Every structure is written in structure tokens, then in C-alpha cells.
């Protein structure tokens, strides 16, 4: 029974990867030398052989380990996106440790970090060993690492990271003209009904999931693909809100009636 559930999760993760890569069953059929109907039957059965899993993963540029990691994240058995209070506190207390963990989350290896940052080799080793002690990574021979969390972390709303770094990060992020091709900022103020607000919230949650799926796929781009990736800030937010200038201009009666 457990094996069937695991197989279903793996197939589900594989379907997500195909969708994010824009690979259709028709495309897959050509690459696997199968008919499109055969590929559809394989995925409908939720029981691909190891050879088929490996074949599809190779087409997508993934390893079986990568696929298993995505499947575990989808299972809901544990939340690899969140850290413990103690882990967050340790990162908040040590800026180099936080930066090192962020780099590892984005696929940087030991040599890339040592080359790009003004840290000595013993300093980088200390960062890696400390992250290992915190059970955020598993340190392996030759300073290789196995990430023990998801590569996209959700910091606790009342946690040490947000308390110490959120205000500065938000201010720096928004202090830009957002005029380049790879930038986008659009700020709207609209009046929405409760039903529309609920729909918008669900759409934002779905969008965030798609963004996380893309990040999980791009995490596999290591070594040569590293230079193709850019650290990208994304802000999704919504709340009942009125600009303070408008509130100041309201009559007292109207302000109390709206309860802003």
C-alpha cells in the first residue's frame, strides 16, 4: 500500500515537472520512441518502471533523487519549507551563516562560494559544518552537501529572520525604478467584495505554488547552468488598505464607519 502511494507521488511530481518544462505527452512520446497513447497509459497507471522514471528524468534534466525530493515535498508528511525556531534563530544571529545557507538553497557549491565571496577556505568550511550541525544540510566528502530542506524556505511570520532582516530587505527591494526588461512592478488600489477578495487570494496562492515549482526545477541547474540564474526577489501581497494620505483627508464619521 505504501509503495503504491509513493509511486503515485513520484508520478504526480513527474507530471508537475513536465508541465513546468512545457513538455507535452506528444513531445515525450517522440523522445521516448513511443506512441502518445502509450505515454498517456503509462502516466494514467501511476506505476512507471524504474527504467521509465529514469528515461523521463533524463529528458527533463533531473535525477531520480531530485524527483524523489519533489515528491516528498508534495506528500505533506512534513513541511521541508519551514525551519525550527532554533534553526531560524541561529541563522539570524550569524549573517555569514545566513548568506551561506541562502547560496546553498540556490544550488551554489563549495568552490563557487569560495570563489565569489571574501571568505577564506576555513571560514567556508565553518559555515558548512555549522549548517550540518543545525541539520540544514548533510555534509559529505569533498565538501559536497545534501540539502535537508526544500530549496524555497518560508520564514516564520514572527520568527527571528523576519524580525531582524525583513524591514531592511523590503525597503531595499522597493527602492528601485523597476524599468528593466527583467523587472516588473504594478501597484493597484481597487475596491473588492469579500467574494472577489477570496478568489484573488486563492489565485495568488496558486501563483506562489507555480513560482515555487519553477524554483524547484531551476535548483537542478548547477555548475554550468549556475551563470544562467539570477537571484530574483518576488513580492506577492494583498490586504485591506487605504493610503494614510486618504485617511487623513476623511471626515471622522466616514473614517469610523469604514473602520480602516
Residue-level pLDDT at 73: 62
- Domain spans of the chain? 2-75, 81-175, 180-260
How do residues 92-113 score in pLDDT, each as one tens digit? 999 999 999 998 998 889 999 9
Task: With cut-offs at 50, 70 and 90, classify the pLDDT of residue 3.
Answer: low
Calculate the average pLDDT of the chain: 84
The domain over range 81-175 is classified in CATH as 1.10.10:
yes
Tell which wins on pLDDT, 35 or 254.
Answer: 35
pLDDT higher than threshold 50 for residue 2:
no
Structurally, at CATH architecture level, domain 2-75 sits in: Orthogonal Bundle (1.10)
More reliable by pLDDT, 159 or 62 = 159
Kindly indicate the confidence band of residue 223, based on its pLDDT and cuts at 50, 70 and 90: very low
Convert the pLDDT of each residue in 17-48 to its tens digit. 888 788 899 998 898 888 988 888 888 887 77
pLDDT bin (cut points 50, 70, 90) of residue 72 is low
Residue found under cell 566528502: 141
- pLDDT tens for 150-165 read 888 888 888 899 999 9
Q: Count CB atoms within 10 A of the CB of residue 9.
A: 21
Amino acid at each position: 500500500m505504501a509503495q503504491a502511494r509513493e509511486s503515485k507521488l513520484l508520478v504526480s511530481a513527474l507530471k508537475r515537472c513536465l508541465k513546468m518544462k512545457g513538455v507535452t505527452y506528444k513531445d515525450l512520446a517522440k523522445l521516448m520512441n513511443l506512441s502518445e497513447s502509450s505515454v498517456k497509459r503509462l502516466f494514467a497507471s501511476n506505476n512507471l518502471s524504474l527504467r521509465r522514471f529514469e528515461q523521463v528524468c533524463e529528458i527533463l534534466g533531473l535525477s531520480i533523487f531530485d524527483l524523489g525530493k519533489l515528491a516528498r515535498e508534495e506528500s505533506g508528511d512534513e513541511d521541508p519549507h519551514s525551519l525550527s525556531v532554533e534553526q531560524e534563530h541561529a541563522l539570524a544571529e550569524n549573517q555569514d551563516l545566513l548568506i551561506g545557507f541562502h547560496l546553498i538553497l540556490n544550488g551554489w557549491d563549495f568552490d563557487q562560494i569560495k570563489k565569489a565571496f571574501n571568505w577564506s577556505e576555513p571560514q567556508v568550511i565553518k559555515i558548512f559544518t555549522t549548517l550540518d550541525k543545525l541539520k540544514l544540510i548533510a555534509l559529505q566528502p569533498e565538501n559536497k552537501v545534501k540539502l535537508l530542506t526544500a530549496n524555497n524556505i518560508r520564514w516564520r511570520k514572527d520568527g527571528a529572520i523576519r524580525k531582524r532582516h525583513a524591514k531592511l530587505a523590503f525597503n531595499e527591494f522597493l527602492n528601485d525604478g523597476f524599468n528593466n526588461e527583467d523587472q516588473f512592478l504594478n501597484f493597484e488600489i481597487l475596491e473588492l467584495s469579500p467574494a472577489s477578495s477570496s478568489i484573488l487570494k486563492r489565485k495568488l496562492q496558486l501563483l506562489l505554488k507555480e513560482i515555487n515549482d519553477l524554483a524547484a526545477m531551476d535548483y537542478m541547474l548547477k555548475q554550468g547552468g549556475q551563470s544562467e540564474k539570477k537571484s530574483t526577489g518576488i513580492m506577492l501581497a494583498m490586504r485591506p488598505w487605504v493610503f494614510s494620505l486618504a485617511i487623513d483627508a476623511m471626515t471622522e464619521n466616514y473614517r469610523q464607519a469604514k473602520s480602516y
